[in-house]
Amino acid sequence: MAPSALLPDPEPEYVIVHAGKGTIKREILTGCKRKPTFEAITQVNFSKMNSSSFEDRRAIAKEIGAAFRDSGFLYAANHGISEKLQGGVYGVIKEFFELPLEEKMKIHVNKSDTIKGYEALLETKLDASTRGDLKEAFATGDDPNDPEQNPPADLDRSPYPAKGNQWPSSPSNFRKIMYEYHAAILAFSKVLMRLIALSLDLPEEYFDHMSHFPMGGLRALHYPSQETTSDVGIGAHADYSWFTLVNQLSSVPALEVLNHNGAWVSAPPLKGTLVVNVGDFLEMATSGKYVSTVHRVVNKSGEERYSLAWFFSPSMDVTIETLPGCKVEGKEGIKVNAGEWQRERLLRASGPQSTAYGHLQTLADLIDDWLTNKEGRFWWGDKGASEAGIRHAGTSSSPLGQIGTTALYE
Ligand SMILES: O=C(O)CCC(=O)C(=O)O
Ligand SMILES: [Fe+2]
């Protein structure tokens, strides 16, 4: 038998993800190629989040910072949203998805100018290699025409069309309970944002002025159990938000998080917790210190799964810049209008598109930085290698290196 040293290395395998922020190609590392990376999601206890002691708050912030740097995910325990409210919201969401399809189609997302309302099974396709996402959803967004959202009196309403959120007439208490949950999760989000500021050694109030009418919304999800292994509940993606809070309403494990070895780490429901994950806004503002980690939903449990995601983003008119302490030497920081940036991201993520759009999409995926020089130009090229030797191609407002035709790019 030939000594194993003479055996050729097995062909590398990759996880390929169209994450919205560009295509990510990550080698699946096995054996001695494996790098130290997370294998589980850590839990953080928020019971002292409103403590009058600064040290108590800072201790939670430290744990948040460590988890956001390591995996970009954590479980938040003792977040303060009552069990009664969580049970109530679960009940109405289940009842809504059990309605006949034609009833749900009355508020289909295509009837909204902001893509809000009901989205049927297989309508979106985050992973191009699948037949579509095996889930149905009901989504709301920031909409000053919904009085429950208490828009500030001086809010510029011109960017908000009249046909935004749509609400079902059944169950009759659906809207009321969803808005009770909205108020509770928004309150927790504002506290969490302060702890995030603290975790970055910024004043706790640093982000307060960016949240006067935050973009974002609720997305209730129903995943039937998939019958084939080629199906996926939601294809691999990263979120466009400061952060996302997922309430895994049913006890079905299906959420998976991609680690640096290209392995999918399970994030099963832990009773009483919310899953918190870093979104692209926070990754961008921290120059990648906090990672907006790729995740997906695969429901092979044989049971129906329900979840309720909340996306919390800056207010539409806010300018997001690289945060103090997160500047990378020799690299120009970011400066983006939050509303424009999110609109562009949303367009990229919204389901199957025509071939012409597909070609444009391919081009857009090559652009990871929209900053231009004074003449409005930017360059595409080699942006260096990761620790693992995988190179990155992208754009910049100043000239970049040549693309190596034999190098491996992600
Ligand atoms: O249902 C889940 O657990 C996660 C949903 C999700 O990732 C999303 O809606 O962006
Ligand atoms: Fe997500």
Domain annotation covers residue 289:
yes
- Mean pLDDT on 290-309: 96
- Mean pLDDT on 256-272: 96
Can you tell me the distance from the alpha carbon of 294 to that of 300, in angstroms, rounded to the nearest whole number?
A: 19
If pLDDT is split at 50, 70 and 90, which confidence band does 2 have? very low
If pLDDT is split at 50, 70 and 90, which confidence band does 370 have? low
276 touches ligand 1 (CB under 6 Å) = no
pLDDT of 110 over the 70 cut: yes
Find the domain containing 257 and state its range. 32-350
Name the residue among 410, 384, 289 with its Cα closest to residue 15. 410
Domain annotation covers residue 173:
yes
124 token code pair: 């979106």
Under 8 Å between Cβ of 126 and 235: yes
Report percent pLDDT > 90 for the chain. Answer: 72
178 touches ligand 1 (CB under 6 Å) = no
If pLDDT is split at 50, 70 and 90, which confidence band does 402 have? low
If pLDDT is split at 50, 70 and 90, which confidence band does 9 have? confident
Pocket test for ligand 1, best of 298, 307, 345 (most atoms within 8 A of CB): 307
If pLDDT is split at 50, 70 and 90, which confidence band does 354 have? very low
161 token code pair: 């069309």
CA of 398 from ligand 2 middle (Å) equals 32
* Ligand 1 atom with minimal separation from the 137 CA: 9
- Mean pLDDT on 32-61: 97
CA of 220 from ligand 1 middle (Å) equals 9
Q: pLDDT tens for residues 160-188?
A: 999 999 999 999 999 999 999 999 999 99
Domain annotation covers residue 87:
yes
CA of 168 from ligand 2 middle (Å) equals 24
Q: State residue 374's pLDDT score.
A: 60
pLDDT of 359 over the 50 cut: no
Domain annotation covers residue 259:
yes
Under 8 Å between Cβ of 248 and 255: yes
Regarding predicted confidence, which is higher, 331 or 54? 54
Domain annotation covers residue 250:
yes
Q: pLDDT tens for residues 377-401?
A: 666 776 666 555 555 677 766 677 6
CA of 255 from ligand 1 middle (Å) equals 7
Q: pLDDT tens for residues 265-282?
A: 999 999 999 999 999 999
Domain annotation covers residue 191:
yes
Its pTM stands at 0.84
Residue whose CA lies nearest to ligand 1 atom number 8: 309
Report the domain count for the chain: 1
Pocket test for ligand 1, best of 17, 136, 295, 306 (most atoms within 8 A of CB): 295
Domain annotation covers residue 13:
no
Q: Convert the chain into a string of H (helix), E (strand) and C (coil).
A: CCCHHHCCCCCCCEEEEECCCCEEEEECCCHHHCCCCCCCCCEEECCCCCCCCHHHHHHHHHHHHHHHHHCCEEEEECCCCCHHHHHHHHHHHHHHHCCCHHHHHCCEHHHCCCCCEEECCCCCCCCCCCCCECCEEEECCCCCCCHHHCCCCCCCCCCCCCCCCCCCCCCCCHHHHHHHHHHHHHHHHHHHHHHHHHHCCCCCCCCHHHCCCEEEEEEEEEECCCCCCCCECEEEECCCCCEEEEECCCCCCCEEEECCCCCEEECCCCCCEEEEEECHHHHHHCCCCCCCCCEEECCCCCCCEEEEEEEEEEECCCEEECCCCCCCCCCCCCEEEHHHHHHHHHHHHCCCCCHHHHHHHHHHHCCCCCCCCCCCCCEEEEEEECCCCCEEEEEECCCCECCCCCCCEC
Q: State residue 400's pLDDT score.
A: 73
255 touches ligand 1 (CB under 6 Å) = yes
Can you tell me the distance from the alpha carbon of 245 to that of 189, in angstroms, rounded to the nearest whole number?
A: 8
| Average pLDDT in the chain | 89
232 touches ligand 1 (CB under 6 Å) = no
Cα angle vertex 329, ends 237, 193, to 5°?
A: 50
CATH of the domain at 42: 2.60.120.330
Give the least confident one: 76-80, 189-193, 288-292, 349-353.
Answer: 349-353
Domain annotation covers residue 342:
yes
Under 8 Å between Cβ of 125 and 184: no
CA of 158 from ligand 2 middle (Å) equals 29
